[in-house]
Amino acid sequence: MEKTLKMIQSVSSSCTKIDAADVMVSVDKKDLHKVCEALYKDGWDYLINLTAVDNVENIEIVYHISKSSDMEKFMVLKTNTTDVENPIIETVSDIWKSANLYEREAYDFFGVRFLNHPDMRRLFLRPDWVGYPLRKNYDNTPNEGIPSKVHDMDACEDVPSITLDRHGEIVENHTKLFGRNEYVVNFGPQHPSTHGVLHLRVSLEGETIKKIDPNFGYIHRGIEKMMESMTYPQMLFLTERLDYLCGSMNRHALCMCVEKAMGLEIPKRAEYIRTIFDELNRIASHLIGWACMCNDMGSITAFIYGMRDREKIMDIFQETAGGRLMTNYYVIGGVAQDIHPNFVNRVKEFIPYLRKMIKEYHTLFTGNPIARGRMINCGLLKKEDAIALGMSGPNGRASGWHCDVRKIAPYAAYSEVDFKEILHDGGDTIDRYMIRLEEIEESLKIIEQLIDKIPEGDFRAKVPAIVKVPAGEYYQRVENARGDFGVYLKSTGDKSPYRIKFRSPSMVAVSGLDPICRDTKIADLIMIGGSLDYVIPCIDR
Amino acid sequence: MEVKDIKIKSMKTEDFRDNESLQKYIDELEKGGFGIKVAPLDKVINWGRSYSVWPLTFATSCCGIEFMCVAAARHDFARFGFEVTRNSPRQADVIFVSGTITKKMAPVLRRLYDEMSEPKYVIAVGGCAVSGGPFKSSYHVVDGVDKIIPVDVYVPGCPPRPEAMLYAMMQLQRKIRVESIFKMPKNPENGSVILSKYNSDGTLVTPASETKQIEEGGAE
């Protein structure tokens, strides 16, 4: 890491190292683009997350970067602008493609405009929305007005951007989203196959897709802003409502983030229980992912089968935690209550049952020549594209990218179990389809290894009545069913966070729709969307 | 008409918990001349209607997964006559508003509701649709779907269990049973026809607009 630091210092004189433990570097905004280019050339090609923070006297942009070839490497790059009224920072979306949506999000929430970014529209809120909600001076009391007109259906939407002219002056440019002669179809927000309320504008030439413009925000609930006025135990409830299909894992991320920051030691028993719950939740999520994808392709049988077997997991959850979809089980310091006496037996019965069922799924659907004909060589995603878009998780692994956080930075009890990271190298729809079924089997293996070894002892550590996180910045990654889920937490030592941001693996999956679907048929869009398995409320937060 | 006269195949009248509110609803309808006596033909039609209520495939967030569970193998709402979900609002009878409705989504939901053909029903599923739920204090969430469209049945929960949704469906069936599709409800004071869900100027009757009127009247 010293080498990287020296490399950055050679490019930029303004670089300062902030933290000794992790590499946390601050650069002047003038040198930002140069530094990022140098980092990219040095192999730092995976931008995990990009966040803005309003520090009142300045606005800070935080970049979390990693190397795709060596995923254990992790660094934080920061820059800031003191011009709070009209903040402008150079874009890095030409270096890392994944920055495109993150920067639009920063504009939407903080009003930070990015120089040379091709598309500075709002990402979540309506174009006529006034103010930037995550600014500290924003009045976030719920207002009465409910808009009555549907916006954003206009294909000729104006796309603003800012660039520098030859004299170094800032000029605003306006282009149109789609050309006058393009044939644009609105797909969503109410559509049974969008897996939530996603709105896509699809430009077609005959039946062939030429361009897709995703429009988010139909389920933007302002979770991040709400959390800034909540205590840490209260916040946990909302994490499960982000990506409801892997609620436990999201909650795990926030719990771990707070625990690490407080230096809490978690009892072994709680770690084992959490790992088993995470894996059960992953199975439930993959089952829904598989069931819905097959349903999108016209196989109702698969949908019914997947949902039927998922109910067994819901039973296990319900017995121990009390909840079905939202288990509300993890708390800071461990789990809320001990496991039910039946838990171990139920899980043991479930493992061979699901193994048998997966064989049935393969005979019923995987081998179906019509399904195979549609899936093979359709929706190709190359490994380089997956990395550039930051598309981690099963989608990235289907393209051959080793990106499993459970392997890279093992947490909970993952370092004690033996499991394989499933990698495919085709990157087409069938690879993404197969990887989910194969991951279910790996998850079963993990559970099998742990279920008999749950250690005796406390299920919850002693936690102070009022949870206060020491001042500082923390980032915690977990592997949820869709990929690399992250929590960025900035605390000032108070009982509620100063800024919290969730890195959504679904957002990068949707940003991949445009490159993947170009020149495929519109009918395949549904299937490819199903294979990417995104959850919209996690994107919109 | 008494509540106990409404017979639903799956559950006894006394097992329902809020028969009083349904009785109140019936009394109100009767006052408006709506269901003084349900004619035999109405009975037949209502019997048919209440067992073929087809929901719209509509879900915005978490409650949508529980809605899928209700539709799938174990809970299977087809048993109660909710047969299949329809993807087009034109073909749907009931909309399950399952999930948070945000300011951006509100006009879309309203358009969906307007696109459904009469008679149409709304079930607000989950805390978010009932009152804004855990997101009530957010700047971008509509606190209660009844601000936008009239709601027939409210199902609390975050998310509600599938059984709770089945219960809500049966409540809706009972509501359907007391309606008359041949008669228009009349205002008991002046005898004018009250359209069930529209004001005289063609705008929708929503609880929000009603309360507003009451408040304004009180101020005078």
pLDDT at B159 over 60: yes
Strand partners, A478: A485
Angstrom CA distances, B19 to A89, B7, B166, stand at 62, 13, 17
Nearest to B197 by CA among B137, B136, B140, B116: B116
Report residue A358: phi and psi, to 5°: -65, -35
pLDDT at B214 over 50: no
DSSP secondary structure of A242-281 = TSGGGHHHHHHHHHHHHHHHHTPPPPHHHHHHHHHHHHHH
The pLDDT, as a whole number, for residue B218 is: 36
Which structure tokens are listed for A148? 């009555």
CA angle A63–A237–B110, rounded 5-degree value: 90
CA angle A50–A54–A59, rounded 5-degree value: 75
pLDDT at B209 over 60: no
pLDDT tier at B215, thresholds 50, 70, 90? very low
Average pLDDT on B114-129 reads: 86
The pLDDT, as a whole number, for residue B181 is: 67
CB distance A190–B58 less than 8 Å? yes
CB distance B60–A223 less than 8 Å? no
The pLDDT, as a whole number, for residue B198 is: 47
Residue B122 burial (C-beta neighbours within 10 Å; 0-12, 13-18, 19+):
buried
The pLDDT, as a whole number, for residue B11 is: 79
In whole angstroms, what is the distance from residue A248 CA to residue A317 CA? 11
The pLDDT, as a whole number, for residue B196 is: 45
CA distance B14 to chain A (A): 28
Distance between first and last Cα of chain A: 34
Chain A residue with minimum CA distance to B97: A190
Question: Please, where are the H alpha helices in chain B?
Answer: 19-31, 40-50, 63-71, 106-115, 126-131, 162-177, 207-219
Work out whether strand A74-81 and strand A59-66 pair parallel, antiparallel, or are unpaired.
Answer: antiparallel
Q: Structure pTM?
A: 0.87
Which residues of chain A fall below pLDDT 70? 1-2, 13-22, 144, 148-149, 151-156
* Inter-residue contact B183 to B35 (CB < 8 Å): yes
The pLDDT, as a whole number, for residue B213 is: 41
- Partners of B147 on chain A (C-beta within 8 Å) are 146
Element (H, E) at A303: helix A300-321
Q: How many CB atoms lie within 10 A of CB A94?
A: 16
Picking from A219, A240, A286, A308 by the largest number of B CB atoms within 10 A of its own CB, the best residue to mutate is A219
Element (H, E) at B122: strand B121-125
Write the ipTM: 0.86
Picking from B74, B98, B102 by the largest number of A CB atoms within 10 A of its own CB, the best residue to mutate is B102
pLDDT at B5 over 80: no
Element (H, E) at A54: strand A46-54
Express as a percent the part of chain A with pLDDT over 90: 8
In whole angstroms, what is the distance from residue A169 CA to residue A159 CA? 20
CA angle A401–A404–A409, rounded 5-degree value: 130
Which structure tokens are listed for A376? 């093979």
CB distance A305–B73 less than 8 Å? yes
Sign of CA dihedral A480, A486, A492, A496: negative
The pLDDT, as a whole number, for residue A353 is: 92
The pLDDT, as a whole number, for residue A21 is: 53
In whole angstroms, what is the distance from residue A442 CA to residue A438 CA? 6
The pLDDT, as a whole number, for residue A32 is: 84
CA distance B69 to chain A (A): 7
Report residue A20: phi and psi, to 5°: -85, -40
- Partners of A325 on chain B (C-beta within 8 Å) are 62, 65-66, 159
